[in-house]
Amino acid sequence: MGKSKSKGTGRAAAAKSGRPAPAAKPARRAAKDDKETSTEERIKEAARKLFTQKGFAATRTRDIAEEAGLNLALLNYYFRSKQKLFDLIMMENFRQFIQGISVNLLDDNLTIEQRVDRMVTAYIDFLTKFPDLPLFVLNEIKGNPSKLATTIRDEIAPARSRFFQQLQAAYRSGKIALDPFHFVANLVGLTIFPFVARPLLQRVINVDDDQFAAYMQQRKKLVPQWIMMMLAPK
């Protein structure tokens, strides 16, 4: 009886004060969800910073935990492995990368040459900022190509359609000499492969990080020139 009376008294007090008692549980749950989201974002931001600065191999989970101001056990609670955290961050970066490319493809007023120039600049700038992204993409191509293809299709479908229509029309009319497939393959190869092969290139050619970065900046001008030379009718 006493327990029932206490419960009723609590409800009456809540009603009298204008604060309904049942709302407390959802509020606590919302606060907990916000805290978990905040913790996840702190971990992701710390990991993004360290992966960018040090690369995947040189970054330890302990480093990420320290950067985020958390203990290692809590980091492992949210993200079971460094690889899963890396994959999540790289997929977010990849979406951002694709969205940036699509902006240059949606402008119907741009010529093919202008599109090439902007795309090459966007590729090189983004990969300079996130040098591990090509390795992630290669792993996804090998292990889960459908997921990557779906991401590209969802993010860039309208822009890709317009650009390919422009390329196909130019190819069929003889304005360019390269089939759209070869155009894309050459564009991707000339811009992305140097970042994929960077460790090998730097050792074989004996260039340091600053020299490599300088070469990539030079390629912003060189690659569009090479692409347009390939496209030119014979």
Q: Which amino acid is at 19?
A: R
What's the whole-number average pLDDT of the chain? Answer: 81
Most confident of 24-38, 50-64, 132-146, 206-220: 206-220
Q: Does domain 89-231 have CATH number 3.20.20.10?
A: no
Q: What is the dihedral of CA 138, 139, 145, 148, to 10 degrees?
A: -80
At 109, the amino acid letter reads N
**Per-residue confidence band for 232, with pLDDT thresholds at 50, 70 and 90:** very high
Domain locations along the chain: 21-80, 89-231
Give the mean model confidence (pLDDT) for residues 95-106.
Answer: 74
Q: Are residues 234 and 177 in contact, defined by beta-carbon separation less than 8 angstroms?
A: yes
Task: Band the pLDDT of 5: cuts 50, 70, 90.
Answer: very low
Which element (helix H / strand E) includes 95? helix 82-106
- Considering the segment(s) 21-80 as one domain, its CATH architecture is Orthogonal Bundle (1.10)
Six token digits for residue 104 = 């240059």
Q: What is the pLDDT of residues 173-196, one digit of tens each?
A: 999 998 989 998 999 899 989 998
Neighbours of 12 (CB within 10 A): 10
How far is residue 55 from each of residues 52, 136, 145, 166, 217, measured CA to CA in Å?
6, 11, 23, 38, 21
Q: Are residues 115 and 163 in contact, defined by beta-carbon separation less than 8 angstroms?
A: yes
